[in-house]
Structure 1
Amino acid sequence: MVDNAVRRSRQAVEKESLERFIGDNTDAYFRKTKRIVENFGDKHVTYAIFMRRPVLFCPRLMLEWLDEVANARGVKFDIELCYAEGDWVGAGEPLLYISGSFRHLVDLETLYLQRLGAACVAAYNAYFMCCDLPRTSFLAMDARHCAGTEMAELMAYAASVGSRVARRDKGAIGFIGNATDATAHFFDNEAGLGTMPHALIGYAGSTLRAAEMFVESFPNLPVTVLVDYYGREITDALQVCERFPELATAGQISVRMDTHGGRFVEGLDPAESYAVIERHVPEAIRQYRSEAELKHMVGTGVSAAAIHHMRDCLDGAGFPKVKIVASSGFSPEKCKVMASIRAPIDVVGTGSFLPERWAETYATADVIAYDGRPSVKVGREFLLRKS
Structure 2
Amino acid sequence: MTAKDNNDLASVFNDWVSVKQPANADSVALRTDAYFDRTQQIVHHYGDKEVVYAVFLRRPVLSAPRLVLQWLDQIFEQEKIKATYYVAFPEGEWVGAGQPILYLKGSFEQLVVLETILLQKLGVCCVAACNAFQMAQALPEVDFIAMGARHCAGYEMQELVEYAAWVGTQAAQKKSGSKGFIGTAAASTATMFGLDAGMGTMPHALVGYAGSTVRAAEMFHEQFPDQILGVLVDYFGKEVTDGIAVCQRFPELADQGKISLRLDTHGGRFLEGLNRQTSYSLIMRHAPETLQRYCSEKELTHLTGTGVSAAAIWWMRERLNEAGFKKVKLIASSGFDVTKCRMIAEAKAPVDCIGTGSFIPSRWSETYATADIIAYNGQALVKQGREFLINFARQYVPGL
TM-score (norm: length of structure 2)? 0.91
**For residues 19 and 75 of structure 1, what CA distance do their matches in structure 2 show?**
11
- On the 8 A contact 1:86/1:161 being kept in 2, the answer is yes
Number of the residue aligned with 1:349: 355
Provide the C-alpha distance between the structure 1 equivalents of 2:325 and 2:58, rounded to a whole number of angstroms.
Answer: 49
For residues 22 and 75 of structure 1, what CA distance do their matches in structure 2 show? 13
d(CA) in 1 for partners of 2:191, 2:119: 23
Match in the other structure for 2:373: 367
Which secondary structure does the structure 2 equivalent of 1:325 belong to?
Answer: strand
One-letter identity of the residue aligned with 1:26 = T
Using the alignment, how far apart are the partners of 1:326 and 1:264 within structure 2? 14
Runs of 5+ consecutive residues of structure 2 not aligned to the other structure? 1-20, 396-400
1:360 is displaced (CA, Å) by 1.3
Give me the whole-angstrom Cα distance separating, in 2, the residues matched to 1:290 and 1:94. 34
1:57 paired to 2:57: no
**Which of these residues, 144, 148, 163, is aligned with residue 169 of structure 2?**
163
1:41 aligns with 2:47: yes
Q: Distance in 1 between matches of 2:177 and 2:328?
A: 24
Alpha-carbon shift at residue 19 of structure 1 (Å): 4.1
Q: Which residue among 286, 292, 308 is the counterpart of 2:314?
A: 308
Distance change >3 Å, CA 379–CA 285, structure 1 → 2: closer
- Tell me the amino acid that sits aligned with residue 51 of structure 1: L
Which of 295, 320, 335 in structure 2 is aligned with 1:329? Answer: 335
Structure 2 residue identity aligned to 1:133: L
1:381 aligns with 2:387: yes
- Tell me how many residue pairs correspond in the alignment: 373
* Counterparts in 2 of 1:314 and 1:47: CA distance versus 1, 3 Å: same
Aligned ranges 1:231-380 → 2 under 5 Å: 231-380=237-386
The answer on 1:134 being equivalent to 2:140 is: yes
CA distance in 2 between partners of 1:134 and 1:37 (Å):
52
SS of equivalent residue, structure 2 residue 103: strand
The CA deviation string for residues 307-332 of structure 1, in whole angstroms up to 9 with x for no partner, is: 00000011110100000000000110
How far apart in 2 are the matches of 1:209 and 1:76? Answer: 62
Q: Which residue of 2 aligns with 1:99?
A: 105
List per-residue Cα deviations over 1:82-108 (Å, max 9, x = no partner): 111011111111211101121211101
Q: Distance in 1 between matches of 2:82 and 2:46?
A: 21
Q: Is the 8 A contact 1:42 1:102 kept in 2?
A: yes
8 Å Cα contact 2:201/2:262 also seen in 1 = no
* Partner Cα separation in structure 1 for residue 344 and residue 352 of structure 2: 12
Identical aligned residues as a percent: 56
User: Within 2, Cα distance between the matches of 1:201 and 1:340?
Assistant: 33
Note if contact 2:76-2:82 (Cα within 8 Å) is conserved in structure 1.
yes
CA distance in 2, matches of 1:28, 1:333: 40
Letter in 1 for 2:266: H
Q: CA deviation at 1:175?
A: 0.6
CA distance in 2, matches of 1:182, 1:350: 17
Q: Deviations over 1:178-222 (max 9, x none)?
A: 101111133222221113111111111111111000000001111
CA contact (8 A) 2:185 2:198 kept: yes
Give, in angstroms, the shift of residue 126 of structure 1: 0.8
> CA RMSD for the aligned pairs?
1.4
Runs of 4+ in 1 over 3 A off after TM superposition: none
- 1:114 matched to 2:108: no
Do the aligned residues in 2 keep the contact of 1:156 with 1:186 (CA within 8 Å)? no
Gaps of 5+ in 1: 1-13
Between the aligned partners of 1:248 and 1:282, the Cα distance in structure 2 is: 31
Equivalent residue of 1:383, what SS? helix
- Which residue does the alignment assign to 2:236? 230
